[in-house]
Amino acid sequence: MWKLLQIELFKIFKRPRTYISFGAIAAMILIIQLGLKFDGKSYLQLLMSGISDSFYVPYEMILNGYLVAFVILNTLLIQVPLLIALVAGDVVAGEANMGTLRLLVTKPISRAELMLAKFFASVLYTVLLLIWMAILALFLSMLFFGTNDMLIVRNDVMEQIGRNDVLWRYIAAFGYASVALSTVAALAFLLSVFAENSIGPIVATISIVVVLTILSEMKIPLYDNTVKPYLFTSHMLAWKGFFYSKANSNGQAISGSVENLPAILRSLGILLTYMAGFVTAAVVVFRKKDILS
C-alpha cells in the first residue's frame, strides 16, 4: 500500500496542474496580507464598527499576525474546497480520460488497494495544501505583523485570547480543516469514479459544495433542525470553535479552554462519517465497474 501511495503521490506532484492550487493560495494570501499591511486599520474599523463607539480599540495592537491569519482562514477556507476538487476530482476520471486506468487495473493489485492509495494520496495533497496555507497565512503573517494577544469579535462581543494561548488553537484549527477538506476530497473522489472526464466530477463537486453551503448558511427555521445538522457543509467551519474560549466569572477568557469542545468533536465525527461513506461507496462502485475507457 505504501508503494502504491508513493506512486500516486509521484503522479500527482509531477502534474503541472497540481501547483495551480499552491500558486493560487500563495497569491490570495499575499494579496490579503498586502492589503492589511497598508490599510489594515480601515478594515478593522469597518469590522468593529458596532463596538468602536463604546470602547477604545487599540488597532495597532489588534492588527497582529494572529488576527491576520484568522482573517485569511475565514476568507480562504470557503474557496479552498474548489482547489481540492481540482485534484481529487481528477484522480480516477483523469486516468480514465488518459486511458491509463485500464493499464492500472491490469496490474496485480486489487481494485480496492488502488482506490485507497488514490484516496490517501488526495488526502495527503489536501494536508500539504493546508500546511502550505499555514506557513503563508500564519507564520508569514507572524513575521510581517508580529504577535500579540488575539481579539475575536463574535456577535458584537470582543473576546481576547492571550498571545501564548493562540498557537495551539491554530494547530487544532488546521487539523480540523484537514478533515473538513478531506471530506470534500472524498466527495470529489467518489464522483470521479463515475466519470471518464475530470471536468464533470470537478464541476459537480464544486456545485454540491456551493449549494449545500448556501443551504447551511440560510436562516430559515424550517431547515435549522431538519436539514442543516445533516449536511457536511454545516460542519466544515466548526474549526472556528477552537478560538472561542470559556470565560471566568470576570468575563475573561480561560487560557487553554474551548467553549464547546463536544460540539466540535460531534462535527468532526459527522465529517469523518461522511468521508468514510464517500470512500466506501467509491471503492464498492469501482470494484464492480466495467472499465470501458
Partner 1 sequence: MSSVIKVSHLSKCFGDLVAVDDLSFSVNKGDVYGFLGQNGAGKSTTIRMMLTLIEPSEGDIEIFGMKLHSHRKEILKKTGAVIERPDLYKYLTAYENISLFAKMSGLSISGKKLMEQLDQVGLADRAHSKVKTYSLGMKQRLGIAVALVNDPQLIILDEPTNGLDPQGIADVRNLVLHLSKNQGRTVFVSSHLLSEVELVANRMLIIDHGKKMVEGNVLELFSTAEMVVELQTSDADKTLTSLSGSVWEKYFNGRQRDTLLFKMDKKDIPDFNRFLVGKGEGVLLIRPVHSLEDYFLSLTSNNRHVEAFTN
Contact flag: residue 26 with partner 1 (CB under 8 A): no
Please select the residue that binds partner 1; options are 2, 16, 38, 53, rule is CB under 8 A.
Answer: 16
CA 30 – CA 290 distance, rounded (Å): 46
Q: Which of 38, 46, 108, 250 binds partner 1 (CB under 8 A)?
A: 108
Contact 41, 63 (CB under 8 A): yes
Q: Is 10 in the site for partner 1 (CB under 8 A)?
A: yes
Neighbours of 116 (CB within 10 A): 18
Question: In this complex, which beta carbon is closest to partner 1, that of residue 117 or of residue 279?
Answer: 117
Site for partner 1 in 80-99 (CB under 8 A): 98-99
Compute the least distance from the CB of residue 191 to partner 1, in Å.
21
- Separation of first and last alpha carbons in the chain: 25
Q: Which residue, 186 or 195, is less far from partner 1 as judged by CB?
A: 195
**Residue 9 sits in the site that holds partner 1 (CB under 8 A):** no
Q: How far is 13 from 84, CA to CA, in rounded Å?
A: 14
Kindly give the residue spans of alpha helices, DSSP state H, lying in the chain: 2-14, 18-47, 59-62, 65-76, 80-88, 93-98, 101-105, 111-134, 140-145, 167-194, 199-217, 221-226, 261-288
Q: Which stretch binds partner 1 (CB under 8 A): 57-65, 105-113, 202-210, 233-241?
A: 105-113
* Residue 268 is a binding residue for partner 1 (CB under 8 A): no
Where does this chain bind partner 1 (CB under 8 A)?
3-4, 6-7, 10-11, 14-16, 98-100, 102-110, 288, 290-292
